[in-house]
A and B are shown apart, each in its own frame.
Chain A
Amino acid sequence: MVRMLIGGFGGQGVIMLGQMLGAAAISSGKNATFYPTYGPEQRGGTANCAVVISDKEIGSPIVTRPDVLICFNQTALEKFLPTLKPGGMLFVNSSQFSKEHTFRGDFYVIRVAADTLAQELGNAKVANAIMMGAVIQKTEICTPEHAEAGIVEELMSKSQLHEVNIKALKCGMLAVRS
């Protein structure tokens, strides 16, 4: 079972990333839940969601101690890093941090310049699909084909966005390939 927490600002594609990861896991034959945190949110506020992926039946969709933490900004990092399980994986959108910023602790750090790479692809909104590529490359929760299927399912009605998001997915995978 993999428990993931994703955090960032509203508008960074946090919720969509969670949904795409969940749909990708489902298409690979696994069970998955997605759960957004919601409250009296406001524009520019935080957006967080939880994704649980498992071969078995899933109990709670709520994640308090993640194995995988994906942070799109400083606020999410400050809020959730203390909850990351020892030995867990931290994916950071390094475009939001200075080059000198270090992330120290008992966890693996995967830096993904998601915003920068998205701008290079010509669409700032695909930073989440870039992050998705990095996550599936490093965690191996599903194959690239299933990840593509997840993207297509979640963006079903917006077919003009399929191509650029799949391109972004591959870009993210390449960015963290060692």
Chain B
Amino acid sequence: MEKRFMKGNEAIAESAIRAGCRFFAGYPITPQNEIPEYMSRKMTEAGGVFVQGESEIASAYMVFGGASMGTRCMTSSSGLGICLKTEALSYMAGARLPAVVVNVSRGGPGLGTIQPSQQDYNLITNGPGCGGFSCMVYAPSTVQESVDLTCKAFDMAERDRNPVIVLTDGCLGAMMESVELPMPQTPGENLEWSLAKSDRQARIIKSFHLDPMDQEQFNENMADLYKSWDDNDVAVELYQMQDAEYVITAYGICGRIAKAAVEELRLGGVKAGLLRPITLVPFPRKQLAELNPQKVKKVLSVEMSIPGQMFIDVREALSAEIPLEFLGRSGGVVVEEEEIVSAVYKMKG
């Protein structure tokens, strides 16, 4: 394995190429610009195609086109650009096409700020587009995890023939950290939907159904797929949870900061633990529901969004007997370890 000191955004771009991505289309927006910038240099060297589209909408549809040919495709943006891409995302979900979409999120709504935030949680996890579809959502909390989950996202997108979203933020994207990069992969050929090659029966890629019964059948199949994610694909980090009385839930950049807070609290004799969702879809409901009210006194949901968004999913999953509190920052302010420690001491009383 090759070890390098890399910027989060560049690590995502490099790992996508190593995962076999050979088509990238995007449109500039801070704080994700290093992804298209890196792709513009390295994608052609890898024998692939880089396009800066005329808009977010166009570049997302270019990915639809590339995916139709069985090519591993990626696009990236920040929240307000992702909104524009949701139209094509819905068409891809409807046409059963795989793709990887990266959201390096920033403050909002509107133009908001260019600094990191987690304000896109609801947009991304509650179905990022029209028509009631879901995408699997990975939320890395280190640059290494950004690499690992980007690679995995390509495999999962292809397995499910459905777009996968990697949700990071401006802090994880801009920071540099040590990473081990994976060996380059050669993606499989002869994909069942691919329009490439002609020595076979005609294939049709579409998201339109004339017969309502066909559409209903499609939706039922997708419901089965989403159910299978809950059963098989949940990823969660449990840290110091065996005897935890005060549990922190946090994802992405907040997850790693909360982990350091748990260390600090443990040094002070507080039985703190961390439950960090790595997949936001599927959400670790089961792991949260299993928290025992006899052992866990309180849970604190830490997010870089106000009002709390993951907070609502945590509340829903958690036993009604366990009180849940919220610590949020937003607008581009990154939560500090000391704030989390103080919040736990405060809720401990």
Contact = CB atoms under 8 A, between A and B. Distances in A.
Interface string A101-138: 00000000000000000000000000000000000000
Given A39-B115, A59-B256, A32 B171 contact: no
Interface in A3-30: 19, 22-23, 26
A154 B175 CA distance: 15
B345 interface: no
Interface stretch (A60-68, A74-82, A83-91): A60-68
A62 B336 contact: yes
Interface stretch (B52-60, B96-104, B257-265): B257-265
A22 B258 CA distance: 23
Nearest to B141: A59
Interface size of A as a range: 20 to 34
A1 B260 CA distance: 12
B174 A60 contact: no
Interface in B310-346: 334, 336-337
B216 interface: no
A33 B260 CA distance: 14
Contacts of A34: 5, 175-177
B292 interface: no
B259 A26 contact: no
Q: Which of A19, A32, A33 has the most CB of B within 10 A?
A: A33
Q: Which of B114, B115, B178, B261 has the most CB of A within 10 A?
A: B178
A31 interface: yes
Interface string B266-281: 0000000000000000
Main secondary structure of the interface of A (DSSP, over half): mixed
Contacts of A62: 171, 334, 336
Contacts of B79: none
Contact of B5 (A35, A36, A40, A153): A153
Q: Which of B176, B258, B261 has the most CB of A within 10 A?
A: B176
Interface in B150-196: 171, 174-178
Contacts of A33: 175-177
A100 interface: no
A138 B175 CA distance: 25
A169 to B, nearest CB: 17
Given A19-B176, A33-B175, A64-B336, A38 B114 contact: yes
A59 B175 contact: no
B3 interface: yes
Nearest to A18: B176
B175 A39 contact: no
B31 interface: yes
B31 A60 contact: no
B173 to A, nearest CB: 10
A153 B176 CA distance: 13
A57 interface: yes
Given A26-B178, A34-B176, A153-B5, A59 B334 contact: no
A57 B257 CA distance: 10
A62 B337 CA distance: 10
Contacts of A154: 5
A59 B178 contact: no
A22 B5 contact: yes
Contacts of B337: 59-60
A59 B259 contact: yes
B259 A57 contact: yes
Given A35-B171, A62-B171, 5 more contacts: A31-B178, A34-B5, A35-B175, A38-B31, A59-B257
20 contacts: A19-B176, A26-B178, A31-B178, A32-B5, A32-B178, A33-B175, A35-B171, A35-B175, A38-B115, A38-B174, A57-B256, A57-B259, A59-B256, A59-B259, A59-B263, A59-B337, A60-B256, A60-B334, A60-B337, A62-B334
The 7 A-B residue pairs with the shortest CB-CB distance in the complex, in nearest-first order: A59-B260, A34-B176, A23-B5, A61-B175, A35-B175, A60-B257, A26-B178
